[in-house]
Structure 1
Amino acid sequence: MATATSTGLQNIYYERKTGTSRPCFICNRPTTTVLATIKTEDFLYTCDSHLTDTASPISSPTPIPALTPTSGPSAEDLKKVISEYQSREARKLDKDKVKKDEKDTDKDKEKENENDKINSSTSIPSTQSIPTSTVQPPIPAPTHKKYALHRHIFEMRKNELKRKEQGNKAKEVSRGLPQVPRTGF
């Protein structure tokens, strides 16, 4: 688990549900409701009855309406691309037809009939409906409720995180120090 710096901790917590129950921060009853920061730097379990005792709900701003793209391919651009594609396919089929004609002069009439059938089946009809604009689905609103811890509880959480961070630093420093001798003189 990454350590969090106490100065970078913001007082915005999200209510989440967990799969395992742990004791409430206030009354020690088992609960599955947890208040956690966005990056899960800090979290505390609190039962639903003490949720408003430890934190105040933050009203979320109104959701942004779905944005429609204004810069997209126009109908004229799509028609141009389709016509270019049809002309390339027609040229490819013509080249294939010429190659086959050179190889097989005896079966020329049969191949022309087959190529005409292929041309009619692979051509793209020009009466296709072309969508003029694509509509994106609306942006979903956040599913978790936002809370701000009360001032005293937030200070307790910051102090606890600072204490844990100092303990981790002390362990790292103690690894570099020499060991105490265990044998007698």
Structure 2
Amino acid sequence: MSLTNVYHLRRVADTAAKSCLICYKPSTSVLITPDNKDFFYVCPAHLQDRHFCTPIIDTEGETKRQKEEAMAREIEIVKKEYEEKQRRKKDKAKDEKEKEKDDSKEKDKDTSNSKSDEKERDDKIDSIKNAGTERKTADSPRIFELHKTFYQMRIDRLRGIEMAKRNQERMKSPSLFPSVPTREL
């Protein structure tokens, strides 16, 4: 049986949590092979232990993902700027109407509107920057390679299961046991 030493991290629902392979605490993180031959539950803290497993980083995928995120951020910024320009045009149209009515009220509104516009713009930019940093912290490695002792333990476990299945099949077949001796007269 060939088992590759590549495990992908998957998450399950809180209701489906099972005990960790190492510490037996309930865990929602599962390491599974790409061919689904082997899987086990493990705590996220153990995934950071270098003596348990090491992350495999896909450099091409990482750069591609970073480029996509940068493009998405730029698109969001352009959309927000466009919306802001449209809103300013509407505000100017309203201001012109008000200007015709009362010149003194307009001066007060312009100063307050410009200050509030600047605050809103700064808040939007800060929220965009914070969204990018939150994604980076939540994004952890998803592919791991087990340490050789843990990998050997998984191989031994799978071999034991396979041997138990073979033994069960042998026990079911009648050719395994010797036949009863017959007495010839």
More relative contact order, 1 or 2 (CA 8 Å, 6+ apart): 1
Decide which structure has the larger Cα Rg and report it: 1
- Larger fraction in helix: 2
Q: TM-score, structure 1 length as denominator? A: 0.48
Q: TM-score, structure 2 length as denominator? A: 0.48
